[in-house]
Amino acid sequence: MPQINAGDFKKGVKVIVEGSPYEMIDYKFVKPGKGQALYKTKLRNLLTGSLLDITYRSGDSLEAADIKNADGLYSYFDGSSYIFMDNESFEQVSLAKEVGEEQLRFVKEGEPCGLLYWNEQLISVTPPKHVILEVTYTEPAAKGNTATNVTKPAKVETGAEIQVPAFISEGERVRIDAETGKYLGREAAE
């Protein structure tokens, strides 16, 4: 594998630390009065999401991670894994429920997703930025409650729960930020 020298560190670079893939989310160049220059890095583990702070000296290097991005389609959930179709190879690939559960709580079957591979193994997915889902359950709005920014919980067709404005009722379609779960607006009926 190619090596990445400390002088070439930048945000977004993918490296191997202690046998696991990490993404560099921050780095700082520090030149003390005496001695070697230092590179203070913040790394995010691509398998677990945990953060790591490590300081490297100039001249140090890290192994580049064999990370590949691809486009895919969420096919179905088989009870223990999420199944995707890779749009390039048309192969079915799976992601364990524990890994993808949080990322896919607002994604319906047939939705496009970004796939992230490490050593030919699917390790993460990126949901679409915005999704449109139907509200399957919410309490009716209280009469006369017209104050601004009044929200209530609502369950959407994927089973996830979000906060929606008081005027939203069952059966309506809403636009949601798939990353944060934030309500963005109401969608017109088809």
Q: pLDDT value at position 146?
A: 60
Mean pLDDT along residues 149-157 = 89
Model confidence at 140, pLDDT cuts 50, 70, 90, reads confident
**CA within 13 Å, CB half, 127:** 21
- DSSP bridge partners of 52: 43
Position 190 pLDDT exceeds 80: no
Amino acid letter at 110?
Answer: G
The answer to whether 178 touches 127, Cβ cutoff 8 Å, is yes
pLDDT tens by residue, 84-109: 999 999 999 999 888 888 888 999 99
**What would the two tokens of residue 162 be?**
């979000």
10 Å Cβ neighbour count for 24?
21
What domains lie within the chain, and their CATH numbers? 3-64 (2.30.30.30), 67-126 (2.40.50.140), 130-187 (2.40.50.140)
pLDDT tens track for 36-75 = 889 999 998 888 778 999 999 988 999 999 889 999 999 9
Q: Give yes or no for a contact between 53 and 40, defined as CB atoms under 8 angstroms apart.
A: yes
The pLDDT tens digits of the residues spanning 79-90 come to: 899 999 999 999
Query: For residue 47, how many C-alpha atoms fall within 13 Å in the half-sphere facing its CB?
Result: 11
Which two tokens mark 97? 């429920």
Q: What pLDDT, on the 0 to 100 scale, is given for residue 86?
A: 94
Q: Could you tell me the two tokens for 115?
A: 């796939």
55 touches 38 (CB < 8 A): yes
**What pTM value is reported for the model?**
0.75
